[in-house]
With several copies, the nearest count.
Chain A
Amino acid sequence: MNKKVCDLILTKKTQLNHDNYLLELQSKEPLSAINPGQFVNVLIKDASSTFLRRPFSVHEVIYATNSIVILVKTVGEGTYKLVEAELGDKIDVVFPLGNGFSLPKKDEKILLIGGGVGIAPMMQMGRESKEARAEVHFLLGARSAKDQILIDEFKQHGSVHLTTNDGSMGVEGFVIHHPIFSKKEGFDRIYCCGPDPMMHAVAKKAKALSIDCEVSLENMMACGFGVCLCCVTKTNEGNKCVCTDGPVFNIKDLEWQI
C-alpha cells in the first residue's frame, strides 16, 4: 500500500446530473489494495486559480482493469477543469491516501450515510461490506430529487433509503429525520460522510443510540500525505491529521460537542 504519484489515464467519464461526474482513472501498473474511505489527490493542470492538488474519495476500485473511479461534484475552478478532461488524458494523482473505514464483521448490520457528494466513498465501502457478509443499508441525503444520484448502483450492494430536504424524493428532511433510526432492531455500526453539520447530527444520533460510528472528514488540505499539518482535527489525543490519521475517525475519538 505504498503511496505513489503518477499519471493515470482517464478511460471513462459519465455525467450523472448537472453537477456530478464519474471519472474512471486507469493505472498502467497493477493497483495495490485500496481501503474503502481512502482518497486520491489530483493535480489540476491549466487552471489559473488552483495552486494545490484537489482531494477526492475513492468511489470504486476496479482491480480487474487497475482503475479507480472518483465522483466529482463541480463547485469551483478545480473541479470544473477536472471534469473537462477528455478520454485518454493523463491525470496526475497521488494515491492511495488516508486510512479508510474499518470493515464490518460478518452478519453485522451497518448503515452507510452519505450526504451530497459525501456519498462518494460509500459505494466501495458498500461493496466490500457486502463481500464481508454484513447487512448493508444506505441512507442517502440530498437537497432534491435531481440531486439523488447512483441509486441503482447503490442497490447492488444493499438496501437504499433516501431523504431530500424538499421531500421531492424519499423522506422529507435531513438524514437524521429518516424513520430508519427509530426501528427497533438497531444497527451495529454507522458510517457517515457529508457536510459537517450533517456528520455532527449523525454522530449525536449514533451516540444517543450507542452505535459505533465512523465519520469521514473533508478538512482543507495542502499536501494530503501528512507533512504540512494543515488539515488537523481535534481528537482525544490532540490534533491529528485528517489526511493520514483520517479522513475516517471514530466519533468517540473526536472532540465534537455532541
Chain B
Amino acid sequence: MADLKVKIHKLELKNPVMTASGTFGNGVEFDDFINVSDLGGILLKGTTLHHREGNDYPRMAETPSGMLNAVGLQNKGVDYFCESIYPNVRKYNTNVVVNVNGSTIEEYIALTERINELDDIDAIELNISCPNVKEGGMAFGTSCPMAEQVTKEVRKVYNKTMIVKLSPNVTNIAEIDKAVEFQGADSVSLVNTFLGMAIDAESRKPLLSTITGGLSGPAIKPIALRMVWQVAQAIKVPVIGMGGIMNATDAIEFMLAGATAVQIGTANFIDPKIAIKIVKGIEEYAQRHNIHQISDIIGELQM
C-alpha cells in the first residue's frame, strides 16, 4: 500500500484530499455518506466575524460543465461557530480548517484571533478571493498591495498554519502569490471561482440575483491547472490545488502540476462520496504506477 501522507507546513495530512470551503458545509452533513475522518482535511464553510444573510435567491445557475454561485458568504458569524459548530467538528480525526473572511483588515484580524483560541483548529484558510461580496473579498485578492497587507497583518496574530486562498480573476496570479508568500503565508490554495454570468434569453434577466457569480466545476479545470502550475513554480511554500476536480485522475494532474494537496469542491454536490472515492483512486494510481510515496509525484510533470 502506497504512503499517501503529505505535509502542508505543520499539518500532517493522511492523504492529499481535502474538501473545498463552501462545498462541504460543516462536514457533518456528510456523516450519513462517508467517514469524514478518512479525508486528508476539510475546509469549513466561509466564516465571518458577524452573521451574514448572504445574497438573495436565485444564487445558482447551471452552466456547461459547471455552475455559477452567488451565495455571498451566508453564515452565522464566529460566535455561533465557536458555540455550535466547533463542538461538532473537533471530533473529526482529520485537519479541520476554517475559511476566514473579512470586509476589512480589522475584521480578518478579529476573526482570526477568535479562531486562534480553538485548540482543535490547526489552520486557517484566508479567503481573499470571494467574488460574491461587495466589500472586501476579491478586492483583496486582485491587488498585490492589498493581498500583501492582509496576509501580513493576520500573520502577526496567528502562529498556526496559515493558508492564503487567492483569486484567479487576475492577470498574473504568480505575482500575487509571491507577494503573499513573502508576507508569511505557510501555503497558498487556488483557485477560487471565476467571475461569470448567466442570462435567461427568454425573460432577458440575469439568472443570479447578483447578476454575476463565481464559476466552478470541470469547466474551469484547464485554467485552474495552469495557474497551479505557474504558482508552484514561482513559490516555495506548498500549493493546494483545486478547480473542477471530479475524480482521482484530475487530482493526480493537479499534483503533477505542483500541488501538494487538492481540494474537492463542486463535485461534492454531485456525489457526496466523491472525496473518499478520490482517495481510493489515488491509492490505485499509486499502486498501478508503483509509487511508494504519493508525495514523490508532486510537481513531477515530465517535459
Contacts and interface: CB of A to CB of B under 8 A. Distances in A.
B59 to A, nearest CB: 5
Nearest to A3: B32
A149 interface: no
B258 to A, nearest CB: 25
Interface stretch (A46-54, A79-87, A155-163): A46-54
A52 B218 CA distance: 12
Contacts of B266: 222
Contacts of B62: 49-52
A223 interface: yes
A233 interface: yes
B217 A228 contact: no
Interface string B37-62: 00000000100000001101111111
Interface string B68-106: 010100100000000000000000000000000000000
A220 B269 CA distance: 13
B57 A225 contact: no
Given A51-B270, A223-B269, A239-B53, A230 B32 contact: no
A183 interface: no
A159 to B, nearest CB: 36
B183 interface: no
Interface stretch (B23-31, B169-177, B185-193, B279-287): B23-31
Interface residues of A, number: 30
Do most interface residues of chain B lie in helix, strand or loop, or is the interface mixed?
A: loop
A224 B33 CA distance: 14
A5 B66 CA distance: 21
A227 interface: yes
A231 interface: yes
B74 A229 contact: yes
A198 interface: no
Nearest to B70: A230
Contacts of A233: 57
B270 A52 contact: yes
B32 A4 contact: yes
Contacts of B65: 48, 51
A234 B63 CA distance: 25
Contacts of B63: 51
A16 B266 CA distance: 35
Contacts of B271: 5, 43
A29 to B, nearest CB: 14
A228 B269 CA distance: 8
A238 B56 CA distance: 11
The 6 closest A-B pairs by CB, nearest first: A227-B25, A230-B60, A223-B269, A3-B32, A230-B59, A2-B32
30 contacts: A3-B33, A3-B272, A5-B33, A5-B273, A43-B271, A50-B62, A51-B217, A51-B270, A52-B62, A52-B269, A52-B270, A94-B272, A222-B60, A225-B272, A227-B24, A227-B25, A227-B45, A228-B23, A228-B69, A229-B45, A229-B74, A230-B59, A230-B60, A230-B69, A230-B71, A232-B57, A232-B74, A233-B57, A239-B54, A239-B74
Given A51-B270, A222-B67, A223-B269, 12 more contacts: A49-B62, A52-B67, A52-B269, A94-B272, A222-B266, A224-B269, A227-B29, A227-B45, A229-B59, A231-B57, A231-B60, A239-B54
